[in-house]
Amino acid sequence: MSSSDTVWHKSWNLPGKRAETEAVCVEILDAARQRAYHEDELFGVYLALEEAFMNAVQHGNSGDTEKRVRIESLVTSDKIDVSITDEGTGFNPNGLPDPRQGDNLYKCSGRGVLLIRAYMDIVEYNERGNCVHMVKFRDKEGRIRKALYSE
């Protein structure tokens, strides 16, 4: 049985530090590469993971490195499934201002949730708003590659 046929599952409970979450991102993407995900798919997953980790560390845990970030991940030949939970009070993801409108265009932040929603197929938040669950399904028909490389 090759690694592309296996299920990869891993959990972490880490200090809320940027360097810690970067290593997790690399590990999840490596597991996906071993299951032959295309780099175009992984680019979007990478951006979504980076934004979700940054939101958990900076906004959720308010930069407090004593607070933890919990990550659950599952990578199969069909999907990449990740949940990220911080120890913050949470937020209402539907109450965020649209970063594409008005004065929000000029703000230095506020685009993370939009990017996560753009690149992942499923994005769900728990009721408290301190856990994001994201799923990216494998592009079996090559839609990404066709869209990027067709003339």
Residue 83: how many other CB atoms lie within 10 Å: 18
The vertex-75 CA angle with 43 and 145, nearest 5°, equals: 35
Q: What is the pLDDT of residue 112?
A: 86
pLDDT tens, residue order, the chain (151 aa): 566 679 999 999 999 888 888 899 999 999 999 999 999 999 999 999 999 999 999 999 999 999 999 999 999 999 999 999 999 999 998 887 676 877 766 666 668 899 999 999 999 999 999 999 999 999 877 555 544 454 4
d(CA 77, CA 7) in angstroms, rounded, equals 8
d(CA 30, CA 73) in angstroms, rounded, equals 12
Q: What is the pLDDT of residue 122?
A: 97
- Smallest Cα–Cα separation from 82: which of 141, 11, 139? 11
Encoded tokens for 83? 């949940």
Q: What is the pLDDT of residue 107?
A: 66
Q: What is the pLDDT of residue 120?
A: 96
- The domain containing residue 11 runs over which residues? 3-149
Domain count, the chain: 1
3 state SS of 73: strand
- Smallest Cα–Cα separation from 26: which of 71, 88, 79, 78? 71
**Dihedrals phi, psi of 133, to nearest 5 degrees:** -115, 125
d(CA 63, CA 21) in angstroms, rounded, equals 13
124 beta partners = 133
CATH code, 74 = 3.30.565.10
Q: What is the pLDDT of residue 151?
A: 46
Residue 89: how many other CB atoms lie within 10 Å: 10
